[in-house]
Amino acid sequence: MPELPEVETTRRGLAAHLTGQTIADVVIRNASLRWPIPKNLPKLLRGQTIVALKRRAKYLLMDCGSGTLILHLGMSGSLRILPAGTPAEKHDHFDLVLGNGLLMRLRDPRRFGAVLWHSGDVHTHPLLAALGPEPLEENFDARYLHQAMRGRSIAIKQCIMDNHVVVGVGNIYANEALFRAGIKPQLAAGKLSLPRCARLVAEIRATLAEAIKLGGSSLRDFVNTSGQPGYFQQHYWVYGRDGEACRKCGTPIKQIKQGQRSSFYCGNCQK
DNA sequence: AATCTTTCCTGCCGGC
DNA sequence: TGCCGGCAGGAAAGAT
């Protein structure tokens, strides 16, 4: 599933093909994603030049000069670069046909993704305006996290998955980072000391950075822009390892539900 | 049939 | 009383 490392992997794979290219055509086969794809998108985009491909949280931002195409992969989306004219398959909802004989194709079986247009400063878009800091940037530090969680009774795991606190930490990496930091997922967020916040910040950063280096997770249906899976899943400490031995101490990994999501942890290594 | 995935939205609760 | 923020739960589609 696309979490931040998968989105960043996608961004890097796409950027080389897209940057500086003109948009020859736009094909909408099925507009009903999480929100409808704007009907006037072909009119808006035809003839535009792609200036840059950026990322904010799990949103891909295609800067077209006059505005920004906002893309989200939802739970099952993937973007690929293919030769123009490649026949569309099931769940291929959206194409950007480029001037260089290639196209960028969105496939999204579960249709929780999004394709939206915003003119002007994209960071003022309602979906982006209230987001917390990027986990890999300097302003996400121990002092900030400590402050953001102060007085809160919500479980630490749910707190770091809250986009208002920090963006881009989904279920897999939340579980992994908490294991690496030695923090039990049920701990009340407000109870985490400043030094433990520092440890957690460091482990969230390291977990995401390593996953990006490895090309993202390949859980279920994630593929990169060439259609290849990532390799991070081979490195999980706890995710999906219910009942298996902890890789550090041998204690069986436990699975619990928090906010309808599965959490995995070691009762011995995580306090 | 239940589960899994992301994230927005609704509505309840308690505090002031 | 009414507003606010925190928080829980629900919703969307499809594969397994």
Choosing from A89, A124, A159, the residue where a domain stops is: A124
d(CA A35, CA A32): 6
DSSP state letter for A155: B
Q: Are A111 and A205 found together in one domain? A: no
Give the residue from A124, A158, A173 where a domain finishes.
Answer: A124
pLDDT at A158: 92
A150 annotated active-site: no
Does any domain span residue A175? yes
Identify the CA nearest to A78 among candidates A45, A52, A116, A113.
Answer: A113
pTM: 0.90
Confidence at residue A126, expressed as pLDDT on a 0 to 100 scale: 87
Contact A269, A199 (CB under 8 A): no
Three-state SS for A179-233 is HHHCCCCCCEHHHCCHHHHHHHHHHHHHHHHHHHHCCCCCCCCCCCCCCCCCCHH
Q: Which of A12, A34, A205, A261 is catalytic?
A: A261
Sign of CA dihedral A212, A213, A217, A223: positive
Number of domains within chain A: 2
Q: What is the pLDDT of residue A219?
A: 39
pLDDT of residue A224: 53
Q: Which domain holds residue A205?
A: 142-265
Q: Which nucleotides of B are covered by protein (CB under 7 A)?
A: 3-8
pLDDT tens track, chain A, 271 positions: 678 888 888 898 899 899 999 999 999 999 989 888 999 999 999 999 999 999 999 999 999 988 999 999 988 888 989 999 999 988 899 999 999 999 999 999 888 899 999 998 999 898 898 899 999 999 999 999 999 999 898 999 999 999 899 998 988 889 999 999 999 999 999 999 999 999 999 999 999 998 888 775 543 334 455 555 544 455 689 988 889 999 999 999 999 988 888 999 999 999 9
Provide the CA A112 to C1' B11 distance, Å, integer: 23
A150 and A112 part of one domain? no
Selected catalytic residue, list A56, A58, A80, A157: A58
A261: annotated active-site residue: yes
Q: What is the pLDDT of residue A226?
A: 53
CATH number for the domain including A81? 3.20.190.10
